[in-house]
Structure formats: C-alpha cells, structure tokens
Amino acid sequence: MRYAIISDIHSNLAAFQAVLHDINGTGSIDRIWCLGDIVGYGPDPKECIELLRQYEHVCVAGNHDWGALEKIDLNDFNPEAAAACRWTGQQLGPDEIDYLANLPLTLQEGDFTLAHGSPREPIWEYLLSTYSARISFDYFQTKYCLVGHSHVPAVFEQLADSEDCFLAELSPDAPLILGENRQIINPGGVGQPRDGDPRAAYAIYDSEHGVIQHHRVPYDIDATQQKMAEYGLPSRLITRLSYGW
Ligand code: ZN
C-alpha cells in the first residue's frame, strides 16, 4: 500500500493542487493521511476541504481547524493567525463546519499514530526539539507517530533500549528506511512551509518496502498571495510564503 502523508494545507489551494498533481505523478496511492490544519492563514478554506474530501483519506484536527470554528479560544493565537481564523470561519458552510468539528484528535493507522501537534497534546504542542520529542514517545502505543504543526520536516528517532532520541533529517535526497527504532516523523507543511524552503512539502509511505520518501513541490505562490491580498488577509502572512518562514 502507498500512503500520501500531508499536513498543514492551510487553505492554500495552489499548493495543495501542486502536491496532489505530484502525488499522482509518483503512481497510485491508496489513501491520504492528513495531519490537520486544512484551513487557516490562506485564501481557500472551503475549496481545500472539498478537494481533500474527494480523496480516500483520514484526517486529524489541528489548532487552526478548531480555531476557525472558535472551538478553542482565539486569544491563544497570535493576532494575525486569530484574524485569519475569524475570516476563515466566515467562509465555511454548514457542511465544512460539520466536517472540521468531527475530526478526531488522534488516529491509529497500522503501525502509525497520527496527531497534529504531538501525541501528548495533539492540538497545541510543537515538537521542535529532542527534549519535547523524548517525552512524546511515552504517549503513543504504535511504533511510529506522524505529526505536523511545526511545518518543519523532521525525524525524531528513539535509541534502542533507551529513553533518548536524536533528530535526523527528512530530505527528498534520501528515503527514510523504517527500521527497528521508534520514530516521530513530520512531513513538513503543504501550504506554509517554515524551514526556509518555500516549496510545498509532503511524503509518501510505501508499506511494502517500509520506506518514507520526502518530496518538495514548487507551486504558484503568487496566485495564493494575490488572493490573500484581495481578501484583506494580514500582509505578514502573505509575505512569509515567498520565503518559507
Ligand atoms: Zn499549521
């Protein structure tokens, strides 16, 4: 089976379409695993939900998915993110609201647990250091865990017979071969990358070969930025897409 692992689409339809085009170019996939934050920040929340729902997929809830519904307090977001959450909520119809409201916090798919932020605190916790990742290994039962939220591709690998873990790179240059050690893997973000590379990021998991391949895809950043400007979304959110921060 082949699974596409995507996260943090963030209402960026141009990026999402480019990723889907790229996925289809790599051969057929059986299912999409989406790690949350379908909406927020970008200009096309409704369209991104509709497009994802055309595919066989599972998806967990992200902080922006709940933020758009005001299911969590918008004071917990920075002012620009909160403004985008409010605007996003106004674009959604009852069907999209219902879909986002019913996303689970975590899911198990075979050897993988899926969570947006972390398995310990799925909505808000960022896994950016080995310190926080180390604690997270106690909070899922499967061998592997997939997370998003930071928009930074990464692999945290737990050392065998140890509580310690180390940070490894997830890069398109080399496949990640799943071995004996437990791992927490972040595929990076589709719609708002933050690792200094503005291209959309995603990964493909091939269960037969036990391999995860990372991919980066250029997309029409300008098209997304123009729509965001037209809809009056915060300028910092528009600018950052050019640089991937
Ligand atoms: Zn996000």
Ligand 1 center to 111 CA (angstroms): 24
Question: Order of strands, edge to edge, in the sheet holding 154-158?
Answer: 106-109, 112-115, 144-146, 183-186, 154-158, 165-168
Query: Rounded mean pLDDT of the chain?
Result: 96
pLDDT the model gives residue 163: 81
pLDDT the model gives residue 26: 85
Name the amino acid, one letter, at 219: Y
What average pLDDT does this structure show over 207-233? Answer: 98
Ligand 1 center to 168 CA (angstroms): 21
Q: Give the residue from 5, 4, 11, 24 showing the smallest Cα distance to 223.
A: 11
The answer to whether the CB of 62 falls within 8 A of the CB of 148 is yes
Structural tokens at position 74:
């918008």
pLDDT the model gives residue 100: 98
pLDDT the model gives residue 162: 82
Q: Which of 66-75, 161-170, 176-185, 225-234 has the lowest mean pLDDT?
A: 161-170
pLDDT the model gives residue 175: 96
Is the pTM higher than 0.95? The answer reads yes
Ligand 1 center to 161 CA (angstroms): 33
Ion ligand 1: protein residues whose beta carbon lies under 5 Å: 8, 37
Ligand 1 center to 40 CA (angstroms): 8
pLDDT single digits (tens) 45-59: 999 999 999 999 999
pLDDT the model gives residue 160: 84
The answer to whether the CB of 102 falls within 8 A of the CB of 131 is no
pLDDT single digits (tens) 160-192: 888 899 999 899 999 999 999 999 999 999 999
Ligand 1 center to 8 CA (angstroms): 5
What architecture is domain 2-31+38-203+223-240? Answer: 4-Layer Sandwich (3.60)
Ligand 1 center to 165 CA (angstroms): 24
